[in-house]
Copies of this chain bind each other. A is one copy, B any other.
Amino acid sequence: MLTPLRKGSDYHHGDLRDAVIRVARDLVASEGVSSLGIRRVALRVNVTPAALYRHFESLEQLRGEVSGRVRNEMAEMMILAREKVGPATLSKTRSRARFAAIGDAYVAYARKFPRLFEIAFLTCDALPETGESLAWRTLEESLEELIKSGLLERRKSLKAATLAWSSIHGLASLVASQTISNKEYPLFRKSVLDGVQDAVFAR
């Protein structure tokens, strides 16, 4: 327990809104999106249900907020994984490995937190206005590295980005929804990764 949710006998919470989203995220992660509810979250945050309506218009909006937070979390995981292989250089193998890392992190997240991945891409009537996603920008950065290290022609870059995202996302989605099992996964993984690399890297 990092910080107590309520400091002593405070009437005010201090930072409800954020605590609510955090707890909601954890609830979805462990019990699924259909278990996310105003009252259940309120209980865990040790607050009255009505209090949540000071910070969220509806359950639907809270769901959207969780969805947005998860998408950011995913992107941060991707960035972390990329940094872990080493800082960006002009080395071909380096930038190639960094590119592979973000794709791997994407589907690794879906495998580790399938319920979170699910809520991240649910059609949401009330999603927080997000410009270009962090994940997409991260992908673009990696492609830029590939261009600078001479592995990718600039004119092919956009096409590479869209194909890479689609196939990686498809793999992640099929895994998260258990449409493909853990046993089938390695084959799918190899096919997709090879396919993406074949398409991205000029031969």
Q: Please report A residues at the B interface, Cβ cutoff 8 Å.
A: 32, 34, 60, 114-115, 118, 121-123, 125, 158-160, 162-163, 165-174, 176-179, 187-188, 190-192, 194-196, 198-199
User: What residues on B are CB-neighbors of A177 within 8 Å?
Assistant: 121-123
A123 and B32 contact, Cβ closer than 8 Å, known pairs A173-B173, A199-B198, A199-B199: yes
CA distance A191 to B161 in the complex (A): 9
CA distance A165 to B123 in the complex (A): 21
- Residue among A166, A171, A178 with most chain B CB within 10 A: A166
A165 and B174 contact, Cβ closer than 8 Å, known pairs A123-B115, A195-B199, A198-B199: yes
CA distance A179 to B162 in the complex (A): 12
User: What residues on B are CB-neighbors of A198 within 8 Å?
Assistant: 198-199
Contacting pair B158 A187 (CB below 8 A): yes
CA distance A188 to B166 in the complex (A): 8
Contacting pair B176 A192 (CB below 8 A): no
User: What residues on B are CB-neighbors of A159 within 8 Å?
Assistant: 187, 190-191, 194
User: What residues on B are CB-neighbors of A122 within 8 Å?
Assistant: 118, 177
User: What residues on B are CB-neighbors of A190 within 8 Å?
Assistant: 159
